[in-house]
Amino acid sequence: MAPTPNGMIAKENYDESYVSAGNWRLFVSKVRQAGNVIIGRKTFEVALASGVFPIGGVLNVVMTSKKIENRWGGKVLFTSRSPREVIGLLKKKGYGMAIVAGGSLVNTSFLKQKLVDELHLDLQPEVFGKGTPLFVEESFDAKLRLLGTTKLSKNEVQVRYRVLKK
């Protein structure tokens, strides 16, 4: 995820133009390494409108309860399955890792069901007051252990955390 220091992952109108091109390249590289990416319907709509959907060479999983015509064939899976079922499906398909890439509801649902092992946060050098938060307001908590930090550019830092299992 590429949040701002105050935890926003998109501006009020789902604008993600503040995310650097270098950060996008790093994200796509990680997605290709995993072979898949999991997103929600709103993230799908934003990515489609901006021309970055689907990410080539990987399975793009879109979690939605809406019926959406799949015009991309086997590269895209639209599903209303639970996060646990999606992970089970990916395991059956031979994937050893999954990239959960938002939005807020998807991020929250995977973390709440304790399906997240690591958080990679690429902090963007901008702050704004209204937008889409990294997680929705719900009752949940997760303890984290810092795995490391990496300076990505002059103004960007990646912070990696292990999600501790209780």
pLDDT digits 0-9 by tens, 102-144: 899 999 999 999 999 999 999 999 999 999 999 999 999 999 9
The answer to whether position 13 is within a domain reads yes
Phi, psi of 72 (to 5 degrees): -110, 0
The answer to whether position 39 is within a domain reads yes
The predicted pLDDT at position 166 comes to: 74
The answer to whether position 2 is within a domain reads no
The answer to whether position 127 is within a domain reads yes
Distance CA 138, CA 38 (A): 20
The answer to whether position 1 is within a domain reads no
For β-strands 59-63 and 76-79, DSSP reports them as parallel
Q: Is 60 helix (H, G, I), strand (E, B) or coil?
A: strand
CATH of residue 131's domain is 3.40.430.10
pLDDT of 87 above 90: yes
Give the strands of the sheet with 76-79, arranged side by side: 36-40, 59-63, 76-79
pLDDT digits 0-9 by tens, 34-69: 999 999 999 999 999 999 999 999 999 999 999 999
Looking at the structure of the chain, the number of domains it has is: 1
The answer to whether position 121 is within a domain reads yes
Distance CA 77, CA 60 (A): 6
Q: Where are the extended beta strands (E) located within 12-156? A: 36-40, 59-63, 76-79, 118-123, 131-133, 144-151
Instruction: Return the percentage of the chain with pLDDT > 90, whole number.
Output: 91
